[in-house]
Amino acid sequence: MTTIVSTTPFPDQKPGTSGLRKKVAVFRTPHYVENFIQSIFDSLDGFAGKTLVVGGDGRFYNRETIQTVLRMAAANGFGRTIVGKGGILSTPAASNVIRQYGAFGGIILSASHNPGGPDGDFGIKYNTGNGGPAPEKITDAIFARSKTLTQYKTLTTADIDLDRIGATMLGPMSVEIIDPVADYSRLMQSLFDFDRIGAMIRSGFTMRFDAMSAVTGPYGHAIFEDLLGAPKGSVLNGVPLPDFGHHHPDPNLVHCRHLYDLAMGPRSPDFLAASDGDGDRNLIM
């Protein structure tokens, strides 16, 4: 059953092309997340019964916010949501899922290369049906709505199990938990010659890819090690952690100094790379 919750506007919910980014403490303010999500939904037309993609970079407060988004999506009339297992979807992978499944749009929870953890940053952004960030026309409408919002819609339900692949119902809405890596891996295989790259690796080409304890770890393990045959250990910091293992997931020569030192050392791999918190910024050496 839909619950209508009274609220008051927040004056600081102006999103940019990268969404709304604030400290975690701000997002944990009562009604803050709900107000912004409702402002997104109120700024869209024609999504009744349609599909919404939801995922994030695994940072602190990711899982809790996904549960909020799912309840509100159901209460506002979406017919289906697609969620990456564990709440994980890199930004490029989320874009692919939106387009591949013909979704109306997607909500991505990320603050990109900003630090994570309870004292770190958090972010929410809306991507349209073409997989790209919402244009200024939509972000302006979201901000305008956020300044006049007096209520939001949600459901009172138990949490969805984000770690079990499969479909379940949340009120009137279907929630489908998917492998966050599988569709993206297939996309990469359609774009690049995995046979030739794999043969190069088997012939002795060496590499290291640092996921910085952020979202691209599972993608790195699946693509570089499992599909292309790079030796285990080629992917560094490959488990997404809520605080990124105290790393600052910005792939530059300050925060990836260890890769630079490895590149300049006597046993340098042929190729070194790192990616940021949500997987759309890269360092390549």
d(CA 65, CA 154): 13
- Block residue for tokens 């699946």: 222
d(CA 199, CA 136): 45
- CA triple 60-75-158, angle to 5 deg: 55
Show the tokens assigned to 92: 């490029």
Q: How many CA atoms lie within 13 A of 192 on its CB side?
A: 13
d(CA 190, CA 276): 24
Show the tokens assigned to 249: 């997931």
Q: Which of 90, 110, 112, 234 is catalytic?
A: 112
d(CA 78, CA 65): 17
Q: Check if 112 is active-site.
A: yes
Residues assigned a catalytic role: 112
